[in-house]
Structure 1
Amino acid sequence: MDIESGRVIICGAGPGGSALALVLASRGVPVTLLERHDDFTREFRGEWLNLSGRRALEQMGLGAALASVPTLAPSGATVFVNGRELFTMHAGDPDDEQDHLLVSQPALLAEIVREAAAYPNFTFVPQTTVRGVIRDRDRVVGVSATHRGERITYSGDLVVAADGRSSVLRRASGLQISADHGGGYDMIWFKAPPPADVDPRVGYQFLQRNGTAFTHPHPDGVHQYGWAFAKGRSAELRRDGGIAWLDAMCSHVPGNFADHLRAIGNGIDAAFFKIVSHHLADWYVPGLLIIGDAAHPMSAVGGQGINMALRDAVVVANLLGPLLLKGEPNLAIIDAAARAVATERVPEIARIQALQERGSKVLNLETKSAQFMMERVLPLLGKRAAPLLARGVGTTREFTVGVTDVKLAF
């Protein structure tokens, strides 16, 4: 079955895809947004919204949408090194604008799509799995997909791949990755209540050699837990019905957390998360533009994924929006503008990924200098070590507000 879907087909209703769809549709560009799932719940969602991502949302007119969904600003973070509690870094005045905000990403995405649905030129098609691209000679002119078991094709002037770190469309493009910042760790990721004897408003960082663990409060009332472990251990940790990871993780957290996790272990729904961090040097082939995690999967350090995807959407709207409004768009001009997206975005992505890689080495005490700082210097400094730790991990102004100036002009 063939559907002529209009000007733009966006594949993937994550932060970048859904936000871009809303901006284009609100300006009059015909947009079809395809999503593999029937809702926005995922086993892993990056939900740290920094000022860089919030500014992008506000510029796109989504400030009210953000205010309408569950959010939370953690009151601080308590840092442990090798099982020893060192200090608590407190957040600023809760009445002030917070640098970092936790947001329920499923709720935010649902709200963005709901707002986009108010425009007659927007079409949302859930339960649609994209299988590949359709080409006319050397140009991508659409995608093949399966919608609720039925094979279907969508065609348009531009396809935007926002289909995540395992992007089918990235593989179909033939584009090659640039520098790899993935590091030597993967993660286990789950939500569960915190122990009864800790402050539920505070996050906890458990730093030690060969893998760090953390937990922080989440807007849905529980805590988000994560544990980084060396690549290559996934099969070992999945044995015994998938519970071997629990004892391994418990050796990386203080006794009260370990006892708590063992007590609730059978009720934990844990996901294994492969840490990947790299980016494409070029994001475009004729007819197909790649953005978000599809173009640059981010590591978990600093929660940058959602923020970078939203900033991608702003740049795409600026460069391509005006061209897509024209009755008969000039495809050569669209091609040139689409190629310019990577030119504008790669410098920031490359810098943030390099900072994430550095931060991972510090948090996992991976180098001699990190071991000296974390094991010898920080215990001596106590609370005075908080700024030093922040600089070492990379949670500087660049992590908070971004590297480049990104403002919506469309």
Structure 2
Amino acid sequence: MRNQSTSTISQVNVAAKEQRNLQQATIYRILLAVGFVHLFNDSIQAVIPAIFPILKSNMLLSFAQIGWIAFALNVTSSVIQPVIGYAADRHPRPILLPLGMGSTLTGVMLLAYANNYVLVLVSVILIGFGSATFHPEGMRVAHMAAGLKKGLSQSIFQVGGNAGQSLGPLLTKWIFIPFGQIGALGFTIIAAAGVVVQTYVARWYREMLDAGYTFSKKTVSRAMDPARRKSILRATIVLVLIVFVRSWYGQAIGSYYAFYLMDKYGLVLDSAQNYIFMYLAAGALGTLFGGPLADRFGRRNLILFSMVGTVPFGLALPFVGQFWAGVLLLIGGFILLSSFSVTVIYAQMLYPGNIGTVSGLITGLAFGLGGIGSLFIGRMIDMVGITHVFIACGFLPLLGLIALLLPGDRKLEEWAAE
């Protein structure tokens, strides 16, 4: 009887050791795979704003109609993300990874042949749905493959996405200007490659789940403490608002600044796209360096600085010459998006174990609500002119002062450790 008890304890210890090994191992091939798929996914999403000038010219669209297209993409890719993330945290579905990219593939193919405004909206919704499906499960895979290197995994995952977004202006310059709308057909190859890679990742994901991998959940003590629950809810609201404002300003630059450059400096579309690329590429670098900077100076401090530090550059942007506009875009893009991955990590520490829900809330809902900003900005441009709108947009990052209401890093770490 004693030998049987000893054997049972030994089996439990072996199982616990295997579980720890699963939790702690860093799987770089999976991290890189999911990072590249994030690049694929977001580069395809970048096709939408990249094709705006072509659609505006071909279909004689107003800025408000352009705003509705951006709204359809952002809301579709965001509103259902928290729902998918919440469901994934409770019942993981690896098959959603290739299925989501399949929806994106269908949307891109339809976009290439869409000959009216309604079909454009349908194609954009399909692309948005594919993105909404990818992000929560992709975030969980990155967290799972990270082992003990959570910050590194978040940087790899988010830099892949931001690098993909930065390709949008180049897509306009190299594909849509020479080939027109049909150029979107070339992105079916990228989407098909994404389906293949996602199938490989999903197979590994399923094997890890079958081997007993679980996401730790440290939420019981919080549920028993009403004061802490209230503090976490308040911090979540503040964080969502910050990401919303950051996304709103980013939408103004990404979707409309090319039109502003053509209007003020007389640039052709080809040259105007270079400026948007510089802004987005600088943002991708900011995302890469944001994690180490947050480790050195604090997460809340970096979130606050990324918003308020952008204000001088945003305010000066409408009043400088063509050369200095490029300089301000580089610096402003780097500063603003330096908090991109940091806000996600901050949210994960508020809700340990709920990786999919956090992804849906921060990188999905809050970011996607920027589509509302895009819709509003497009309408305002039609009403008062593009110059006045960009002067007003320069004040948006000032709202980042609400980051002062976030708990400090020490308090955040205390909550995450309990």
TM-score normalised per structure 2: 0.26
Higher relative contact order (CA 8 A, sep 6+): 2
The answer to which structure has the higher strand fraction is 1
TM-score normalised per structure 1: 0.26
The answer to which structure has the higher helix fraction is 2
